[in-house]
Structure 1
Amino acid sequence: MLTLKQHELLCFIHRRLEESGVSPSFEEMKEALDLKSKSGIHRLINALEERQFIRRLPNRARALEVLKLPEGLDRVKDPAPAAPQKVPEIPVAANDVVDIPLHGRIAAGVPIEALEGQNMLSVPAALLGSGEHYALEVAGDSMIEAGILDGDFALIQRTEVARDGQIVVALIDDNEATLKYFRREGPRVRLDPANSTYEPQIYDASQVRVQGKLAGLLRRYN
């Protein structure tokens, strides 16, 4: 038997897949179920997967497939019947991970060449939102005041647009990449460090291409 929240989430995922063919993001699921954090969604997803109501497609942060619906629920025409009686929910560890590409090292100081690689990095799904992601290993100390340290793995959401004040991967002259705060100044772009000992880097807007924005950090302790 599913709990009330498990039932609600399963029906919500099913409706979204029927409507758009794309499973909802964890943020959308959190809002739909009126939960305070995404960790509750991860527990519900794990529970539904263990009970074989859904499955996660590999290597994708936002790909769910509904395998079955509760008994008596028509799969197509009646995706949201009255919820069953609520029973205590059994906590499930939020231990789901996804594999994203690891593309070498990126400077958090002066720009260095962005390396492309074929390695993959296993990342807790809770650190990622919707969209496509990749990882870069941080080299340098110019973002330490933002809590980004040498050796950290920056988790990047692919995008070509950014708002002022966001931390982005900026590709300069189609050759070198750096991790910095992004700001526009008329026809120019200023890339700001988060270390008072470093100076901002200013370029013509045509020299700078946004390749992603910071979505999270992964740090290993040896």
Structure 2
Amino acid sequence: MAPSLSKANSGASGLVDGHNTQSLISLEGSNFAADGHVFLTDVHDNITLTPAPCASSADKSISIVGSFVGFDAAEPHSRHVVPIGKLRNIKFMSIFRFKVWWTTQWVSSNGKDLENETQIVILDKSDSGRPYVLLLPLLEGPFRASLQPGADDNVDVCVESGSTAVTSATFQSVVYIHVGEDPFNLVKEAVKVVNDHLGTF
């Protein structure tokens, strides 16, 4: 996996299997930005950003890939709830799990309005040029992630193993961020990149 970006870096690009890839997601200072447009603010120092290492080997048409969000905790635990940044006044569509086997749609514009057990978030594009932004919580080893509302409009990621015997303090890829101009292609491309990353579907 590619090294984590520091807060001074702004995006990353590379050549994988002869195919150029570029990430438009950056962590600049204490802000997450998509193609230079801020979408999450007040990001804490323990949050890391790592560009996706490659586009899907099955579809070389993907020239823009996203980045993985991780974090470092002070101590290993089986469950962590960590803010990844504040979301304010950006319209979003999300899907959250309200029963074990059932999900439904939810829309709003601030981090405090998210529902617990959110499985996917798509931020609306802006007139100033910010593309659609997808936030997708993932599995990392024995841990599963979901998004939820945090204090003061923070978007919190909840990472849990389900067993007190399974603990960790460092995570590299609990949320995947992807950007694009078409919300339908955005989801398709993100799934292809995550497929390569997880190798599970």
TM-score (normalised: structure 2) = 0.25
Largest Rg, 1 or 2: 1
Q: Which has the bigger relative contact order, CA under 8 A and spacing at least 6?
A: 2
Q: Greater helix share, 1 or 2?
A: 1
Q: Greater strand share, 1 or 2?
A: 2
TM-score (normalised: structure 1) = 0.23
